[in-house]
Amino acid sequence: MSIEQISPEQARRRQQAGAVLIDVREAHERAGGQAEHARGIAKDALESEPTAFLPDRDAEIVLICQSGARSLRAAQTLVEAGYARVASVEGGTSRWIAERLPLAVLEQSDEERDFYDRYSRHLRLPEVGEAGQRKLQAARVAMVGAGGLGSPAAFYLAAAGIGTLVLADDDVVDRSNLQRQILHTEDRIGVSKVESARIALAALNPRVRVETFAERISADNVERLIEGADVVFDGADNFPVRYLLNDACVKLAKPLVYGAIHRFEGQVSVFDAGRHRGVRPCYRCLFPEPPPPDAAPNCAEAGVLGVLPGVVGLIQATEVIKLILGLGESLAGRLLHFDALGLRFRETRLAPDPDCPVCAAGREFPGYIDYQAFCSAH
């Protein structure tokens, strides 16, 4: 059955004669203005349970959206559900505005206006929408390292609207950092990295709460850092911290987004063994024991291509957002390798180690190891 399509002026006359005019756009779209006296009911909500909003199937119903496409599809759904008198406004709200018909502008607080404006591109993605953006807003991410990997990741996570970022780093800004650590600037040389990061992120998105943790990560404070976090971000540049983070995330059942860089190459994965014991691997399933310090030089010793942490850090940030939203397939169980010189990605499948001393199914947590002493001894 074809759906009747009518002009905005016809819709207004029918509304004045008693028809129910419904704007099926999302709340953030209606916030900028909607047809006067229209009811706002998002298309998905209306289609999922029409009788909750429209108990009378014989009532005259007119649907409007932004351009006319969504309202036409929603009208078809209502007709199939037994509604007899349904029409769609051709050209939608855009045409309604062009024809200078009366609009109602919804009152918003400054915070709501900021939310709808700032995240409008996320809100337009059906996979994110307002519900997903609210999840990001409520999320807490613990980030270890405000350097090469943490810089691009923190920028984009703050821009994306993560509600709380906990930044842990005990270092200060040095001029040599500025080649790749884009959170920091010349005028903040000598400032603690977490404070420099806080200044940069507040300037980008003042709605994001940044908590600073200017301490060296140890067994004594690692749980205090990651407690309450939805996701933990590993931007560490040394093995003792990396292994300690892994063990704490397994113990407290936190997903860990891992990244590492060396000269012209990088790696990214998600270690989620704490929530999926025996199903997903942890970092120690891949690397059972840390190497001695001289076998794994850091960026200061080996050098690093300045753009490399940007690529790897942004992949990590993508994984953080996906985990919070529950979207797509995470890198859990996969190790992504990036070769900047060849501009190639390759993937290695990872399996959980049934004898892993930390994450094997049914195994009690063995306690923290002093990895700093362990690495030095080896």
Active site residues: 299
Task: Give the span between the Cα atoms of 316 and 322, in whole angstroms.
Answer: 10
DSSP for 44-82 reads: HHHHH-HHHH---TTSEEEEE-SSSHHHHHHHHHHHHTT
Rg of the chain taking only CA atoms, in angstroms? 26
Under a CB-based contact definition with an 8 Å cutoff, are residues 265 and 240 in contact?
Answer: no
Task: Give the span between the Cα atoms of 323 and 319, in whole angstroms.
Answer: 6
The beta-carbon contacts of 245-249 under 8 Å, at least 24 apart in sequence, are 245/144, 245/217, 246/271, 246/282, 246/283, 246/284, 246/358, 247/284, 247/358, 247/365, 247/368, 247/369, 248/222, 248/223, 248/368, 249/274, 249/282
**Can you read off the two tokens belonging to residue 220?**
């004594």
Phi, psi of 347 (to 5 degrees): -125, 140
Under a CB-based contact definition with an 8 Å cutoff, are residues 272 and 330 in contact?
Answer: yes
- Please choose, from the candidates 45, 100, 88, the residue with its C-alpha nearest in 3D space to the C-alpha of residue 64: 88
**Can you read off the two tokens belonging to residue 97?**
């505005």
- Please choose, from the candidates 252, 248, 151, the residue with its C-alpha nearest in 3D space to the C-alpha of residue 201: 151
Q: How far apart are the first and last CA of the chain?
A: 77
What is the enclosing helix (H) or strand (E) of 319?
helix 308-325
Please list the alpha-helical segments (H only) found in 139-254: 150-160, 193-204, 222-226, 239-252
